[in-house]
């Protein structure tokens, strides 16, 4: 019996447990020659869970990538971290055990079983994965044959970076060229919202797993180091917003009908705001940080006092789900839009809001709305595939941006007010000149031909991503199928447990 298997027997509990699926392995000592820990099956999952956030392909710490056997064995700054057959002398083990500083992973402990598994693998010779490439378990970053929809884009306060939400990652681009500055991995599912703190210090990505949990990942925006992952909601997070001026609080809205306020420095939940009776979509702080506005599937906009967590008032003018809202930079007005295709603007007094203006703005649900920093322009994006620029003072439509290759699902205005970034369902991102409406640059190209992005392909992707119940979801909006489904889901609406879909999903399925 090799040393490894004695070690295995010592740490028996963990090994036996992990191997329980393969009967003969339940007693390692009985079959030492034929059974040994396999890299892909036994080691990779541990690295995935505990190490990849910092040792992924993009910007790996210590120049050490751990996404595959080959990456790991190649090593980092200090050379190969694994000495086959000698776990005790392997840098990786010494760092995990804290014998070599800094300890890995820096802030957490590896479960003893996980460590013993890695040691057993090293002591057994640190062999490459047994399975052939074809039968390997899909690795951590499956090469997506399809692009992930871009549900959110955000400029850094200095305008030099554009964060783009993706699937399990956030890409940070140079907004003038599209050059990728950094890829931040860590989120466990689709990222629904990305945002920089007002001081530019933090970058947050929010999302989570539909019907299960919400997740917020925070990075140090300057270094790209992942600082914290916050879990808290009972469904995915739709939007996250930092409180101005300092970004000390983070507000998150969720499909679980609640809004939560988090202390950014500690990650501790400060308050849960629970008065919406349906999924909460947009959240936005007033420019002075004192108020928080939220919009929801219950067709209301609510305004909250941030310091007390109390609701100040409810604006009930909307006729359908509210998907987007924004305070005017002056703080004196609030605008919202959503499934009823209308923009509404309320004048805010100390205690209430009065409807100042409303207009039918698009031919389908409006999913994004933003003000330029000077407050003179508003930009809206809708499921009619149009992005429109509005003159705020005259309350008129100024222009429609050039034709969009797919639904414009994300929108952000550059801090200098010169340009607007649009992200789409087909994974593409473009930058437009706000004054002329002209395309400046395609930052990310759609990864599939335009003809395939809409229709069946997207519907399938959406159904998979959001694990919606199967049903007749195909058919363009307005088609018989879409309309009948729309009616059906209207009926189900409000019935307990009936799961409704997210905005763009809504628009196609209701
Ligand atoms: C929170 C981020 C983070 C996580 C998680 C993390 N590491 Fe690291 N790792 C680092 C940093 C930072 C360095 C560079 C340390 C230095 O050189 O001072 C590093 C360096 C290393 C090195 C040395 C590479 C070299 O050649 O210099 C090894 C080995 C290592 N990590 C192993 C692990 C293992 C194994 C895990 C998971 C069990 C892990 N790390 C998880 C941040 C992390």
> Virtual CA dihedral for 448, 450, 456, 458, nearest 10 degrees?
60
Closest residue to atom 23 of ligand 1, CA basis? 62
Closest residue to atom 22 of ligand 1, CA basis? 62
Quick one: DSSP state of residue 76? B
Question: Can you tell me which atom of ligand 1 is nearest the CA of 118?
Answer: 35
C-alpha 236/C-alpha 208 separation (Å) is 4
Could you tell me the CA-to-CA distances from 376 to 124, 330, 363 in Å, in that order?
68, 11, 24
**DSSP three-state, residue 398:** strand
**DSSP three-state, residue 49:** helix
Distance 80 CA to ligand 1 centre (A): 13
On the question of pLDDT at 494 being above 50, the answer is: no
On the question of pLDDT at 492 being above 60, the answer is: no
Distance 247 CA to ligand 1 centre (A): 29
The residue ranking higher by pLDDT, 374 or 136, is 374
C-alpha 450/C-alpha 479 separation (Å) is 20
The residue ranking higher by pLDDT, 4 or 327, is 327
Could you tell me the pLDDT band of residue 447, with boundaries at 50, 70 and 90?
Answer: low
Distance 62 CA to ligand 1 centre (A): 6
Which residue among 48, 49, 55 is best mutated to probe the pocket of ligand 1, counting the most ligand atoms within 8 A of its Cβ? 55
Could you tell me the CA-to-CA distances from 193 to 149, 190, 241, 275, 423 in Å, in that order?
12, 9, 9, 22, 12
* Phi and psi at residue 258, to the nearest 5°: -110, 165
Closest residue to atom 20 of ligand 1, CA basis? 62
291-303 average pLDDT score: 97
Question: Can you tell me which atom of ligand 1 is nearest the CA of 81?
Answer: 29
Residues in the chain: 510
Ligand 1 environment, Cβ below 6 A: 50-51, 53-55, 61-62, 64, 75-78, 81, 91-92, 95-96, 102, 104-106, 110
Closest CA to 367 of 322, 326, 315: 322
Per-residue confidence (pLDDT) for residue 335, from 0 to 100: 98
Could you tell me the pLDDT band of residue 400, with boundaries at 50, 70 and 90?
Answer: very high
b/e 52-66 (16+ beta carbons within 10 angstroms → b): bbbbbeebbbbebbb
On the question of pLDDT at 19 being above 60, the answer is: no
70 Cβ partners below 8 Å, 6+ apart?
A: none
Could you tell me the pLDDT band of residue 233, with boundaries at 50, 70 and 90?
Answer: very high
Per-residue confidence (pLDDT) for residue 35, from 0 to 100: 60
Of the ranges 203-207, 271-275, 405-409, 459-463, which one carries the lowest mean pLDDT score?
A: 459-463
Distance 230 CA to ligand 1 centre (A): 22
On the question of pLDDT at 49 being above 60, the answer is: yes
Of the ranges 15-29, 38-52, 157-171, 238-252, which one carries the lowest mean pLDDT score?
A: 15-29
Neighbouring C-beta atoms of residue 305, cutoff 10 Å? 12
On the question of pLDDT at 135 being above 90, the answer is: no
CA 49 to chain centre: 18
Of the ranges 22-31, 102-111, 423-432, 456-465, which one carries the lowest mean pLDDT score?
A: 22-31
* Phi and psi at residue 34, to the nearest 5°: -100, -25
- The fourth-level CATH superfamily of domain 153-449 is YVTN repeat-like/Quinoprotein amine dehydrogenase (2.130.10.10)
C-alpha 11/C-alpha 7 separation (Å) is 6
Quick one: DSSP state of residue 134? G
DSSP secondary structure, 226-278, as one string: EEEEEE--SS-EEEEEEPTTT--EEEEEETTS-EEEEETTT--EEEEE---SS
b/e 378-407 (16+ beta carbons within 10 angstroms → b): bbbbbbbbbbbbbebeeeebbbebeebbbb
Predicted confidence (pLDDT) per residue in 149-167, tens digit? 999 999 999 999 999 999 9
Per-residue confidence (pLDDT) for residue 70, from 0 to 100: 87
The residue ranking higher by pLDDT, 131 or 494, is 131
CB 280 within 8 A of CB 295: yes
By CB neighbour count within 10 A (0-12 exposed, 13-18 middle, 19+ buried), where does 506 fall?
buried
Per-residue confidence (pLDDT) for residue 466, from 0 to 100: 43
Which residue among 50, 54, 98, 217 is best mutated to probe the pocket of ligand 1, counting the most ligand atoms within 8 A of its Cβ? 54
- Per domain, the residue ranges of the chain are 39-135, 153-449
388-415 average pLDDT score: 96
On the question of pLDDT at 20 being above 70, the answer is: no
Per-residue confidence (pLDDT) for residue 381, from 0 to 100: 97
Per-residue confidence (pLDDT) for residue 131, from 0 to 100: 59
Which residue among 62, 97, 119 is best mutated to probe the pocket of ligand 1, counting the most ligand atoms within 8 A of its Cβ? 62
Distance 65 CA to ligand 1 centre (A): 9
- pTM for the structure as a whole: 0.60
């Amino acid at each position: 019996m090799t040393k490894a298997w004695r070690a295995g027997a010592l740490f028996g509990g963990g090994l036996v447990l992990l191997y329980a699926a393969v009967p003969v392995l339940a007693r390692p000592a009985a079959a030492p020659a034929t059974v040994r820990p396999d890299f892909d099956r036994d080691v990779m999952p541990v690295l995935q869970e505990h190490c990849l956030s910092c040792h992924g392909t993009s910007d790996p710490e210590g120049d050490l990538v751990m996404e595959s056997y080959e990456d790991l064995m190649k090593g980092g700054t200090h050379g190969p971290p694994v000495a086959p057959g000698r776990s005790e002398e392997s840098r990786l083990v010494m760092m995990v055990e804290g014998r070599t500083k800094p300890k890995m992973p820096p802030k957490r402990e590896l479960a003893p079983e996980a460590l013993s598994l890695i040691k057993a693998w090293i002591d057994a010779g640190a062999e490459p994965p047994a399975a052939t490439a074809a039968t390997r378990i899909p690795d951590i970053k499956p090469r997506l044959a399809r692009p992930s929809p871009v549900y959110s884009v955000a400029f850094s306060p200095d305008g030099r970076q554009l964060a783009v939400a993706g699937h399990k990652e956030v890409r940070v681009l140079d907004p003038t060229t599209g050059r990728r500055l950094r890829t931040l991995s860590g989120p466990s599912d689709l990222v629904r919202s990305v945002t920089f703190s007002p001081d530019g210090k933090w970058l947050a990505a929010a999302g989570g797993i539909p019907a299960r949990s919400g997740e917020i990942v925070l990075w140090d925006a300057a270094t790209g180091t992942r600082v914290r992952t916050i879990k808290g909601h009972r469904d995915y997070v739709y939007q996250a917003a930092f409180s101005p001026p300092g970004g000390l609080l983070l507000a998150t809205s969720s499909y679980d009908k609640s809004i939560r306020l988090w202390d950014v420095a500690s990650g501790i939940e400060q308050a849960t705001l629970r008065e919406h009776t349906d999924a909460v979509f947009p959240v936005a702080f007033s420019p002075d940080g004192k108020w928080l506005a939220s919009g929801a599937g219950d067709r209301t906009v609510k305004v909250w006092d941030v310091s007390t967590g109390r609701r100040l008032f409810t604006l009930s003018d909307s006729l359908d789900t509210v998907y987007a809202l924004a305070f005017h930079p002056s703080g004196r007005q609030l605008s919202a839009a959503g499934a009823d295709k209308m923009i509404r603007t309320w004048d805010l007094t100390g205690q209430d809001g009065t409807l100042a203006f409303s207009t039918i703005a698009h031919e389908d649900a409006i999913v994004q709305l933003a003000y330029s920093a000077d407050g003179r322009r508003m930009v809206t994006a809708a499921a009619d595939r149009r992005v429109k620029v509005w003159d705020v003072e005259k309350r008129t439509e100024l222009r429609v941006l050039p034709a969009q290759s797919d639904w414009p699902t994300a929108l952000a205005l550059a801090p200098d007010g010169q340009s607007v970034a649009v992200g789409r369902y087909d994974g593409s991102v473009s930058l437009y000149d706000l004054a002329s409406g002209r395309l400046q640059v395609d930052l990310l190209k759609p990864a599939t031909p335009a003809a395939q992005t809409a229709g069946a392909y997207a519907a399938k992707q959406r159904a998979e991503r959001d694990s919606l119940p199967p049903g007749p979801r195909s058919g363009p909006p307005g088609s018989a199928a879409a309309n009948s489904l729309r009616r059906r889901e209207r009926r189900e609406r409000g019935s307990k447990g009936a799961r409704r879909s997210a905005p763009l999903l809504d628009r196609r399925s209701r």
